[in-house]
Amino acid sequence: MSIFLDKNSKVIVQGITGGEGSYHTSRMLAYGTNIVGGVTPGKGGQKTEHGLPVFDTVKNAVNATGATHTVIFVPPPFAADALYEAHEAGITFAVCITEGVPVHDMLKVVATTHGMRIIGPNCPGLISPGRSSVGIMPGHVFKEGNVGLISRSGTLTYEVVDLLTRAGFGQSTCVGIGGDPIIGTTFVDCLREFKNDPQTDAVVVCGEIGGSDEEDAAAFIKAHMPEMPIVAFIGGRNAPPGKSLGHAGAIISGTFGTPQSKINAFKAAGVPVADRPSEIPALLGERLAVRV
């Protein structure tokens, strides 16, 4: 088992004939993803260089292929439209790779696309090692196994996965949820899935400074997953304070958002927090050993 997708999940690619869309379609196909077609308006009826059928609309693609999953490679001004189109066509799972989607577009998308899970935007997608990859993650660093991984960062995710794989910890599903202020799927959404996934025996949560997703995740773990071996990591602990959302942002999240707040929350939930990525495998080993 895995979460969100498996070997049979039928995937389409929105923007399949564009440069990035075409390139990553090749890579996903090479990984074994069940890509059944793609969408580029005006190119319906053609075949891609990979031999896949191209459709003018997502609706046509869904009708012809029975696709349930989509991965979106379109420029930022068109990302929300692509998500609405997928939703109306009956797609239930969408990964939006696009970086730079206006936050107001996403506010409206998440408020109105009930019934469709969205990963991202501004995310690397997800991978269920040995089964399917939907997105742009470098497949060769992953290995099938029983550790679930959730991360707000893209490249840092690969870093952590690489360490896990080298240490012998294979992965059930790794989800890069994206780092934008408004994202479709949060840590908690993923934790809920991992909790119910029989293949997942442990979870690594890679957070970052800012926002309060990590604090929410810690609270969820404490309440609903106290038995699951979980290890956390908080990126950017030495990062510059940067330009914040302004005063109002601080009020919304209260004292949340600082590295210390997140570390404290995880510790209060019984979740060890690695000081650096390379400590994660050892901490995970300890937690799994305690469980056994």
Catalytic residues: 247
Distance CA 184, CA 92 (A): 12
CB of 71 to other proteins, least distance (A): 12
Q: How much is the CA Rg of the chain, to the nearest whole Å?
A: 19
Q: With contacts defined by CB under 8 A, name the span among 192-200, 205-213, 222-230, 263-271 that binds other proteins.
A: 205-213
Instruction: Tell me if 168 contacts other proteins by CB under 8 A.
Output: no
Q: Give all strands of the β-sheet with 230-235 in edge-to-edge order.
A: 132-135, 125-128, 171-176, 144-151, 202-208, 230-235, 273-274
How are beta strands 202-208 and 171-176 bridged, if at all? unpaired
Instruction: Tell me if 18 contacts other proteins by CB under 8 A.
Output: no
- 199 vs 231, which CB is nearer to other proteins? 231
Q: Given candidates 18, 26, 64, 88, which one binds other proteins under the rule CB under 8 A?
A: 88
Enumerate residues 25-84 that contact other proteins by CB under 8 A: 27, 41-42, 44, 56-60, 76-78, 80-82, 84
CB of 291 to other proteins, least distance (A): 27
Residues in contact with other proteins, counted by CB under 8 A, come to a total of 82
Q: How many CB atoms lie within 10 A of CB 176?
A: 29
**In sequence order, what DSSP letters do the residues of 31-72 get, joined into one string?**
HT--EEEEE-TT-TT-B-TTS-BEESSHHHHHHHH---EEEE
Q: Given candidates 47, 250, 260, 286, which one binds other proteins under the rule CB under 8 A?
A: 250
CB of 198 to other proteins, least distance (A): 29
- 146 vs 256, which CB is nearer to other proteins? 256
Q: Are 74 and 146 in contact (CB under 8 A)?
A: no
Q: With contacts defined by CB under 8 A, name the span among 30-38, 130-138, 260-268, 281-289 that binds other proteins.
A: 130-138
Q: Are 177 and 119 in contact (CB under 8 A)?
A: yes
